[in-house]
Chains A and B, each alone.
Chain A
């Protein structure tokens, strides 16, 4: 049995896994009957349906005659730096304030692109601080911490 369409096969596995997981967790809740649905009834059957679809997608990817399709490679660098930058922002925003968080986000995410230089990223961060301040704090009057506690 040759897996012709690899992307579809992987997608099918994903659906199977998610569906099985969802149904499993849902079976732990009160099920009830069709006429009197409990917490778990609807998600359980959705999970089962999803798992079934996952199997069908896997099946369709091995049927002879399907176009072959390789898995495309992942951009690990972009993924890692963008995620780290977002996590840094999330960690810093409430305690360190907007300015420092924006700097962190811009500088770290700029590492994802090979073309960006430190100076350019710094300038970008400064401009974004000005824009965000005017838009969110001044225009929309959203209460945000700008600087860490104790500064200014």
Chain B
């Protein structure tokens, strides 16, 4: 069967000692940083991206994927132990996980989170492996018109499911698109570079990401959070009882399905997946009053959901070249830097790379569960580092990191400027994630629009006449309309209200 053969190709590519080592390093670094609150996967990937430049493309992607999953796992560890979610998708885990820890069941909670994530991850990889090929065949039907429509869907999808006002999120997307257009256009004419030579190649992707996410976060956090040496609940045995296992398993299965679904949709992400899973678990439970006080399903379901979403989020990226979230946009940026254009061509032109990446995702999940369970004590000790020591370290890594991208101090100035801008955005309650997505897709969108209209000789109705494009635009319309339904709005508010 084709699937098995592809997986075999992947195994031979992934199981080299070198790639395994990079997978391990990626998982380790990712967990290390995911454990630190405030430094999410997007900032982590931005910081560690320069480290992958010297690596061959397959190894670089494997390491980045490891970092991504590691960050997800690490986030749940702190959420459970000290009620500080490492990143947005572990917010839900903190609700019941911390309660379990306070009643002395921290070990069981951590174990549940780990196992739930592992099972979901395996399932997610299978979906990815199974659907990659058929999805790629469909992708060949896509011309520039369809791609342009798909990108509109992707960008709108990202805004619909981001927190805050829809209009403001669309505004951020457009600012991102405009920033992406800075530099030189396809005809070679300079655009928005105002005579600054370093801008003639466009704004550095790492600079903008580090500035808007990393530096802006620091500026906001420094005065807010002085004491970070919060007491840690004591860790007891981690083995669950038989009752625990019986309650865990259905929650994990439900969570995996929810997560797998949300991960594929553009714009939805691990956070929405985990919140939906929590809501579902509470609804189907025979003991809903336990939720909020240490119900094991409240940890198992959301953790499975967020990891399954993390896996399937790679599907639109790898098969169609469309990032489903800001994190995927970073991965897309990383691939472009390594001269890989994700899309159906990657699967046929470099199958070892593609399937190697898919298989190493599974290996990454395995490594993560091996790492997380025994090393929990060490991760937690990191959290006792006071923020006043931590944030200069983050600034140092960001600065040197962005310098190494193009050996230019100009990029550090950009980080500073975008840091201020990012701070401004956070004060105005404008989400930065849609901006990053718009930034990545800006030049691509213009290119596809240009070609689509060139082919149709300026006729805009081509978007409605071609079936796939029409379907995509209709889905976009439905997504936009759904924002007006109160039920959706309530879910969004619940998903992103401050915990």
List chain A positions with a Cβ less than 8 A from chain B: 7-8, 10-11, 14-15, 18-19, 22, 25-26, 29-30, 33-40, 42-43, 46-47, 49-50, 53-54, 56-57, 60, 69, 71-72, 74-75, 77-79, 82-83, 85-87, 89-91, 93-94, 98, 101-102, 105-106, 109-110, 112-116, 120-121, 124-125, 128, 132, 135-136, 140-142, 144
Question: Which stretch, B9-17, B214-222, B325-333, touches the partner chain A?
Answer: B214-222
CA distance A103 to B42 in the complex (A): 27
Residues of the B chain whose Cβ atoms lie less than 8 Å from the Cβ of A77:
223
Interface string of B410-451 (1 = CB under 8 A from A): 101101100110011001111000000000000000100110
Residues of the B chain whose Cβ atoms lie less than 8 Å from the Cβ of A47:
178
A39-B189, A42-B181 known; A56 and B388 CB under 8 Å?
no
Partner of B458, one of A33, A46, A56: A33
CA distance A151 to B121 in the complex (A): 52
A75-B220, A115-B388, A124-B393 known; A25 and B458 CB under 8 Å?
no
Q: Is B258 an interface residue (CB 8 A)?
A: no
A98 touches B222 (CB 8 A): no
Interface residue count for B (Cβ, 8 Å)?
61
Chain B residue with Cβ nearest A49: B174
CA distance A133 to B454 in the complex (A): 52
CA distance A33 to B397 in the complex (A): 46
CA distance A89 to B423 in the complex (A): 20
A106 touches B458 (CB 8 A): no
Chain A residue with Cβ nearest B167: A57
Distance to closest chain A CB from B407 (angstroms): 8
CA distance A50 to B226 in the complex (A): 38
Q: Is the interface of A mostly helix, strand, loop or mixed?
A: helix
Chain B residue with Cβ nearest A120: B389
Q: Is the interface of B mostly helix, strand, loop or mixed?
A: helix
Distance to closest chain B CB from A91 (angstroms): 7
CA distance A54 to B218 in the complex (A): 28
A43 touches B191 (CB 8 A): yes
Residues of the A chain whose Cβ atoms lie less than 8 Å from the Cβ of B280:
none
A115-B226, A142-B404 known; A110 and B392 CB under 8 Å?
yes
B178 touches A82 (CB 8 A): no
Q: Is B165 an interface residue (CB 8 A)?
A: yes
Distance to closest chain A CB from B486 (angstroms): 15
Residues of the A chain whose Cβ atoms lie less than 8 Å from the Cβ of B430:
11, 14
Residues of the B chain whose Cβ atoms lie less than 8 Å from the Cβ of A142:
54, 404
CA distance A11 to B435 in the complex (A): 14
**14 additional contacts, CB 8 Å, given A18-B175, A74-B423, A102-B396?**
A19-B174, A37-B446, A43-B181, A50-B178, A53-B170, A54-B171, A78-B219, A86-B416, A98-B400, A105-B399, A112-B223, A113-B387, A121-B392, A140-B54
Residues of the B chain whose Cβ atoms lie less than 8 Å from the Cβ of A56:
167
CA distance A149 to B389 in the complex (A): 30
B420 touches A42 (CB 8 A): no
A7 touches B427 (CB 8 A): yes
B175 touches A71 (CB 8 A): no
Residues of the A chain whose Cβ atoms lie less than 8 Å from the Cβ of B178:
18, 22, 43, 46-47, 50
A11 touches B428 (CB 8 A): yes
Q: Is B373 an interface residue (CB 8 A)?
A: no
Distance to closest chain B CB from A118 (angstroms): 12
Distance to closest chain A CB from B424 (angstroms): 8
Listed by A's residue number, 16 A-B pairs whose Cβ atoms lie within 8 Å are: A35-B457, A36-B458, A39-B187, A42-B446, A43-B192, A53-B171, A72-B427, A78-B219, A82-B215, A90-B416, A93-B403, A98-B400, A113-B388, A114-B223, A116-B388, A116-B389
A124 touches B389 (CB 8 A): yes
CA distance A142 to B54 in the complex (A): 9
Chain A residue with Cβ nearest B412: A90
Partner of A83, one of B189, B416, B456: B416
Distance to closest chain B CB from A32 (angstroms): 10
A39 touches B388 (CB 8 A): no
Chain A residue with Cβ nearest B387: A113
